[in-house]
Structure 1
Amino acid sequence: MPVQDLPTVDTAQQLGLLPEEYDRICEILGRQPNFTELSIFSVMWSEHCSYKNSIVWLKTLPRDSERMLAKAGEENAGLVDIGDGLACSFKIESHNHPSALEPYQGAATGVGGINRDIFTMGARPVAQLNSLRFGDPKKARTQWLIKGVVKGIGDYGNAFGIPTVGGEIYFDDCYHVNPLVNAFSAGIVKTDMTASATSYGVGNPVFIVGSATGKDGIHGAAFASKDITEDSAKDLPSVQVGDPFMEKLLLEATLEVLATKQVIGIQDMGAAGIICSTSEMSAKGEHGMDIWLDKVPMRQEGMVPFEILLSESQERMLIVVKKGAEAEVKAIFDKWDLNCAQIGVVTDTKRLKFHMHGELVADVPAHDLVLGGGAPVYHREYREPAYYQEFKKFDIDAVAEPTDYPAVARHLLSHPNICSRNWVSQQYDSMVGTDNMSTNQPSDAAVVRIKDTNKAIVITVDCNSRYVNADPEEGCAIAVAEAARNIVCSGGEPVAITNCLNFGNPYVPEVYWQFVSAIKGMKKGCEQFNTPVTGGNVSFYNQSSDEGPVFPTPTIGMLGLMDDVANRMTLHFREAGDLIYLIGTPKKDLASSEYLYSYHKVKKSPAPAFDLQEEYDVQAAIKSLIQQKLIRSAHDVSDGGLFVALAEAAMPGQLGFTVENKTDLRGDIFYFGESQSRVVVSVKREHKEAFEAAVGVAYQWLGQVTPTGFVLDGKVWLSTEEAIDLHESTLPSLLR
């Protein structure tokens, strides 16, 4: 290697490494690293790539079932057998830090990256979801962020040609500096056409395909592994720039080349670019590579080795193919007018040797760079925060009952966390591909038909971070349960989850306690519903020096399967005269409800009442009722409580309802509390006796669907027209 001044431990710290990690690098190499090698370790050992502060707890999650074709961490995305020789690949990832600085490109490239993870599995993406968190929507910064993020998601997804079929948006002051942008994608592949992120076979050629490499995104993985500060704007080169039209070409070329059966392995170049792909593929295949960096197609002159290796330029793949198939592979990418350059060969050394103009510029062992190999693993200190016990002191009887219930109803229907998301969804193409079954017939989860079958996948993203903040273990278990409930209420069977774990700085013991507790809650939730974890993303450092960490937000992306689309269930009331029932038991509970938090301004309360077995039993009852064709609609009770669930069921058909509180609970507790494990269903009058005989769990008759008006306990709270106007007008008026 060329003689150069070797970096010191101070350099290592500037790159985000700890002094002891620098010492470990010297031990691994048997010498001091040069700057290129140190840069390699800095990104590969960043939290974003190595999960060094989270892997010990991630390994405690359930990761297997009879449907699993790839366990968590084995491939670019999860892979689940859905029968008939087909599999579904799905995953969720964050793009929080880039979106905080440059919301349009940050969100757009998040969409691009998650879709590449899907089609590198050999799957054609068929649906996208997103989970978004912002600060106060009345503030200029939030409006700038949400407009940029939504436009970025829409522009990229629409141009790429994959429908955005659902998602969630929440607002809270804790996300003012650090918005959360989590992107989910799912794709379908024949089980005999799947691809793997591996490399083996001495002499096999290594190709980089897709876009040229530039200086965008350099040190992006390291950037995502530190707090947001006033100086973060200086990290704008760490934000990538996307090209959805290039990605569409890359999708088609990739699926075509995989069909040749000449590909040994393939991996998206996302976080950490070339170095991540070469190291992870080599480590998995227990081989090495010789890479010639000067052969990488570049769009900027004068790029030095570490820039080429760490660039996160978008729309690029690393492909290892069988020796002798070079011309066939190149012809396919030429047809699609994409770069396809051989930049290396597979070796049996288990080392990565990078050359530039004939000089060896870096020589590192692949295994020691990666998660599960030599990357550091830490058991961080964690400590229960003082607020946790404070929240438990909440006294429901100290909350004054409202004197004006219609005012509360108006407050909730027009609250940014509950109001219609049409301002957002109308910017997304939800119909491209023609398989989305949820656009005009809403359901609690998105339903996407699988071509040439009578099946559908049912997908959702869920997390109420207010619940998780109040009680991370219980709140995360609720997130899993709500995801499952949404899928069941839509007619599906929960199958597996992916997760996007958004937390603050893991070196803060109270933050790490939130993380550990959330993992425990996720574990018990997944075990109850037999939904193993297929993989996902950990996003730490979502906090600022001024405002502290965001609420712990473990977003659950859940995949469900509908074996027969005839079982599809929607959330909206069908016609006046139908009976309305509540399945599940309301509790004397207002904890962490939107009503308590935003109407009464009570910020300190525990998570809502929740029992996993009760939840499981309610979901089993809903499944059975759907299969017996005894209900016409099903909608879970969640944000805003029973009243909001009733309103959301009535508004799509411009209908009304008349219901009564027949319990001894106070009216605000009954209508606005958010105790879990409850579902509102509607039933034809002629099915009343059969329905009541078949329920099998606690239920109560509430009332009936009416042509118009929201009548509760004999009083008209709102007209249907006013409710719809309040619900629909909030976001447009805030974001115009």
Structure 2
Amino acid sequence: MSQHKISPERIEKEQIYKEMGLTDEEYQLAKDLLKRRPNYTETGIFSAMWSEHCSYKSSKPLLKRFPTKGSHVLQGPGEGAGVVDIGDNQAVVFKIESHNSPSFVEPFEGSATGVGGIMRDVFSMGAKPIAAMNSLRFGNLDNDRTKMLFSEVVRGIASYGNVIDVPTVGGEIQFDEQYEENPLVNAMVVGLISHDDVQKGVAAGVGNVVIYAGGDTGKDGVGGASFSSDVVEAGKEENKSAVAIGNPHIGKKLMNACLEVIQSDALVGIQDMGAAGLTSSASEMAAKAGTGIEMNLDLVPQREESMNAYEIMLSESQERMLLVVKKGQQQEILDIFAKHDVDAAVIGEVIQEKTFRIKQHGEIVVDIPVNILADEAPVYHLPSKEAAYYQEFQAMENEVPTVEDHQAMLRQLLQQPTIASKEWAYMQYDAEAQGNTIVGPGSDAAIVKIDGTDKAIAITTDCNSRYIYLDPKVGGQIAVAEAARNLVCSGAKPLAITDGLNYGNPNNPEVFWQMEESIDGISEACLALQTPVISGNVSMYNQSKDEAILPTPIIGMVGLIENTKYVTPNHFQNNGDLVYLIGETFPEFGGSELQNLIAGKYLGKAPVIDLQVEANRQNILATAIKEGLVVSAHDLSEGGLAVALAESLFNGQGLGVEVRLTGDVTVALFSESQSRFLVTVKAENKEQFQNLWTEARQIGSVTNDGKLIVSVNGEHVIKDTVDELHKLWSEAIPRLVTAK
């Protein structure tokens, strides 16, 4: 018997709703709100709209803690993407979104559709996408499945971004065994818009016309929202069928058509058909406008014959948009889509009655009040319990790991996949599309010029999940602070963040505690650094080997460079420039790359951070850059000072550096203390630069002999050639990926 023939009575009696993703209590709530038993399609709609993926039912109480307002915020959370003013009637639109479960099951398609979906979120706001970023997490590169996942995810991202002609300008990749069975694939897109063109997903105006545009609807991705709201197992066929298939060629045509459509005064509202497809876009647009929607599924372009209402309503086929257009002006919009060779059809209208009514073959197959789907979704205040390990870690002294040979250790650290060059991945991306990329992948932040102006934007993604595991609140603060440091080092003023919150099963009180604490830490840092949260995404149930992944709230941050003359490189530039270390170094190795290498696990305290100190240092560095006193700037992160010195020489200019330090050798070289910068200054600007700082210490100077020489307490501890170090750093990942 086909699914849509299953009676409402049977759904209840046999508890079929459980297989569809509803609990007993949720099914009863749906029944009470409807005042009748939902039919099969309606049960599927409740399951999708009340899933974690669509309703944020477990995370909603925590998300309210984020600061979301600022004088420059034009649109905060709640629409397809957030919008931030950058002056001159221009704004940037951006958001990050995860595609973890699909990428685990079908890595190529999962990552490609992740890029496509976030593109549509941005251009549905009326913005032209100008840059894409990504933030990826994989297990260690010592097994064939991880190598395959890494290779295919990167290939999927490249295949979509390169065809749609939006440059993939950077991101970050980290490797840790705790992601082995659950990689994280977070895609971010930034768009450019005029203030007057900002669109919203609303179905306003009774009698207005509902238009479907884009690819046809197939059976791919049916139930994807529910599938992404549970723990996923590899290899299951039903999981594979829940992964939608993308088509960047249609995606590009759809993007160009939509960017023309938004110029028409006929357009009332527009929204991407993302998670839960036609169901979420139509019901959310109606709920936001306080109206209802009636649609006829016989008019929906369909890829396969005899699709039932359940399949059409819950398909997550890609490259589809839903529009509401003024009555009588629909032909104008249909003509624009036809001009761009994009299929479009009128499939319904806005109605006064606040209901979500769907017809097929002359029958009403769905009739649900819209507020039930949007506003009545259950909200869970889940139990939270401090993780058992936390007090134990907090009680530990800051131990300094034993390192016999510091030069050999630097060589080892540079070959750690989390630190090593990611060129193997990003060389597959077209970072130069559209011709405005000033700084592409491999830098602290990517920089993209704003056409026709002297302005540019800087973009970064960042998160050290090891710190968050050790101390979720402090780790959350560090994630925001480090993202901001990346932007400030590049010459930008940080504006706002989007967050991709990736955690394990929220029904585990310790996982929920990690989430709660890290969100508080992120919020505190956003307030201190004046970078409100304008959009984001929550992904839960990320489990590997029956354990939660490391808590990984990715921070995507965008900053404004007021004039491209302030763009600051991360690498040393000239022989004779003075090298400064800004900030104090403490014996802090909890969650560090050195601890990972020596102990193979993370324990102890995370590095401390003082948000006021962080904000002050960032402000002083920004002032020094604007005054033309800074030649290069790089923040200190994984691997500490020694790794930052090496990275600052990897630009093929044949430069070297000679550095003199004091104190404990291991601490001086490899500590991961926060709020530190490595800066170079021309000798003639020494006094002026030093007048700005109390915490800047000259530690050496740039040379032209191609050597990295470090002495501590008067003794040489590192004396290596930059060419040799660069070779180890650049060849590490290709060697691991191809190793048999």
Output the TM-score relative to the length of structure 2: 0.97
Aligned partners of 1:327 and 1:234: how far apart in 2? Answer: 40
Aligned partners of 2:137 and 2:697: how far apart in 1? Answer: 35
Structure 1: 5+ residue stretches without partners: none
Aligned partners of 1:353 and 1:5: how far apart in 2? Answer: 18
Residue matched to 1:694: 692
Residue matched to 2:594: 595
2:401·2:666 contact (CA, 8 Å) conserved in 1? no
How do residues 204-219 of structure 1 correspond to structure 2 at under 5 angstroms? Answer: 204-219=208-223
The 3 A distance-change label for structure 1 pair 699 and 3 is closer
1:670 is matched with which residue: 668, 671, 688?
A: 668
- Kindly state the Cα deviation for residue 8 of structure 1 after the two structures are TM-superposed: 1.1
User: What SS does the corresponding residue of 2:434 show, helix, strand or coil?
Assistant: coil
Q: Deviations over 1:41-72 (max 9, x none)?
A: 00000000000000011011101011111121
Residue matched to 1:413: 414
Read off the aligned partner of 1:169 and give its amino acid letter. Answer: I
Aligned partners of 1:202 and 1:165: how far apart in 2? Answer: 43
How do residues 311-460 of structure 1 correspond to structure 2 at under 5 angstroms? Answer: 311-370=315-374, 373-397=375-399, 399-439=400-440, 443-460=443-460
Residue matched to 1:251: 255
Residue matched to 1:710: 708
Q: Deviations over 1:617-674 (max 9, x none)?
A: 1111110110111110000000110111111111113321111113x3x111111010
- Kindly state the Cα deviation for residue 715 of structure 1 after the two structures are TM-superposed: 4.3
How do residues 57-136 of structure 1 correspond to structure 2 at under 5 angstroms? Answer: 57-73=62-78, 75-136=79-140
Residue matched to 1:484: 484
2:48·2:54 contact (CA, 8 Å) conserved in 1? yes
Aligned partners of 2:328 and 2:339: how far apart in 1? Answer: 19
Q: Name the % identity.
A: 45
Moved over 4 A (4+): 230-233
User: What SS does the corresponding residue of 1:660 show, helix, strand or coil?
Assistant: strand
Read off the aligned partner of 2:211 and give its amino acid letter. Answer: F
Aligned partners of 2:71 and 2:8: how far apart in 1? Answer: 54
1:408·1:599 contact (CA, 8 Å) conserved in 2? no
1:2·1:360 contact (CA, 8 Å) conserved in 2? no
2:47 is matched with which residue: 42, 45, 48?
A: 42
- Kindly state the Cα deviation for residue 235 of structure 1 after the two structures are TM-superposed: 1.2
Aligned partners of 2:510 and 2:605: how far apart in 1? Answer: 17
2:589·2:606 contact (CA, 8 Å) conserved in 1? no
Read off the aligned partner of 1:552 and give its amino acid letter. Answer: P
1:253·1:336 contact (CA, 8 Å) conserved in 2? yes
Read off the aligned partner of 1:314 and give its amino acid letter. Answer: Q
Residue matched to 1:286: 290
Q: Deviations over 1:520-563 (max 9, x none)?
A: 1011010001111111100000014x331100000001111111
Aligned partners of 1:654 and 1:341: how far apart in 2? Answer: 60
Aligned partners of 2:717 and 2:405: how far apart in 1? Answer: 11
Residue matched to 1:622: 621
Read off the aligned partner of 2:185 and give its amino acid letter. Answer: V
Aligned partners of 1:389 and 1:230: how far apart in 2? Answer: 35
Q: Deviations over 1:233-258 (max 9, x none)?
A: 43111101000010100011101111
User: What SS does the corresponding residue of 1:290 show, helix, strand or coil?
Assistant: strand
2:177 is matched with which residue: 173, 178, 183?
A: 173
Aligned partners of 1:5 and 1:125: how far apart in 2? Answer: 45
How do residues 466-615 of structure 1 correspond to structure 2 at under 5 angstroms? Answer: 466-544=466-544, 546-615=545-614
Aligned partners of 1:82 and 1:630: how far apart in 2? Answer: 25
Read off the aligned partner of 1:59 and give its amino acid letter. Answer: K
Aligned partners of 2:235 and 2:589: how far apart in 1? Answer: 41
1:127·1:185 contact (CA, 8 Å) conserved in 2? yes
User: What SS does the corresponding residue of 1:603 show, helix, strand or coil?
Assistant: coil
The 3 A distance-change label for structure 1 pair 255 and 114 is same
Read off the aligned partner of 1:388 and give its amino acid letter. Answer: Y
User: What SS does the corresponding residue of 2:433 show, helix, strand or coil?
Assistant: coil
2:99·2:114 contact (CA, 8 Å) conserved in 1? yes
1:419·1:730 contact (CA, 8 Å) conserved in 2? yes
Residue matched to 1:54: 59
1:193·1:258 contact (CA, 8 Å) conserved in 2? yes
Aligned partners of 1:605 and 1:335: how far apart in 2? Answer: 61
- Kindly state the Cα deviation for residue 3 of structure 1 after the two structures are TM-superposed: 9.5
2:33 is matched with which residue: 14, 28, 31?
A: 28
Aligned partners of 1:402 and 1:347: how far apart in 2? Answer: 72
- Kindly state the Cα deviation for residue 443 of structure 1 after the two structures are TM-superposed: 4.2
Structure 2: 5+ residue stretches without partners: none
**Is 2:41 aligned against 1:11?**
no
Read off the aligned partner of 2:721 and give its amino acid letter. Answer: S
Aligned partners of 1:3 and 1:476: how far apart in 2? Answer: 47
- Kindly state the Cα deviation for residue 231 of structure 1 after the two structures are TM-superposed: 6.5
- Kindly state the Cα deviation for residue 588 of structure 1 after the two structures are TM-superposed: 2.4
1:213·1:313 contact (CA, 8 Å) conserved in 2? yes
Count how many residue pairs are aligned between Structure 1 and Structure 2: 727
User: What SS does the corresponding residue of 1:576 show, helix, strand or coil?
Assistant: coil
**Is 2:142 aligned against 1:138?**
yes
Aligned partners of 1:547 and 1:121: how far apart in 2? Answer: 39
Aligned partners of 2:686 and 2:271: how far apart in 1? Answer: 55
Aligned partners of 2:429 and 2:654: how far apart in 1? Answer: 24
Residue matched to 2:727: 725
Q: Deviations over 1:74-127 (max 9, x none)?
A: x11001111101111000000000000100000000000000000000000000
- Kindly state the Cα deviation for residue 716 of structure 1 after the two structures are TM-superposed: 4.0
Q: Deviations over 1:466-491 (max 9, x none)?
A: 11111111101100000111111111
- Kindly state the Cα deviation for residue 433 of structure 1 after the two structures are TM-superposed: 0.8
- Kindly state the Cα deviation for residue 326 of structure 1 after the two structures are TM-superposed: 1.4
Aligned partners of 1:343 and 1:337: how far apart in 2? Answer: 19
- Kindly state the Cα deviation for residue 21 of structure 1 after the two structures are TM-superposed: 0.7
Aligned partners of 2:403 and 2:447: how far apart in 1? Answer: 39
Aligned partners of 1:129 and 1:352: how far apart in 2? Answer: 36
Aligned partners of 2:266 and 2:647: how far apart in 1? Answer: 51
Which stretch shifts more, 254-263 or 494-503?
Answer: 254-263
Aligned partners of 2:126 and 2:440: how far apart in 1? Answer: 27
- Kindly state the Cα deviation for residue 609 of structure 1 after the two structures are TM-superposed: 2.2
User: What SS does the corresponding residue of 1:259 show, helix, strand or coil?
Assistant: coil
1:101·1:233 contact (CA, 8 Å) conserved in 2? no
Aligned partners of 2:701 and 2:717: how far apart in 1? Answer: 15
1:505·1:543 contact (CA, 8 Å) conserved in 2? yes
2:134·2:188 contact (CA, 8 Å) conserved in 1? yes
1:289·1:350 contact (CA, 8 Å) conserved in 2? yes
The 3 A distance-change label for structure 1 pair 101 and 602 is closer
Residue matched to 1:637: 636
Read off the aligned partner of 1:640 and give its amino acid letter. Answer: G
The 3 A distance-change label for structure 1 pair 691 and 5 is closer
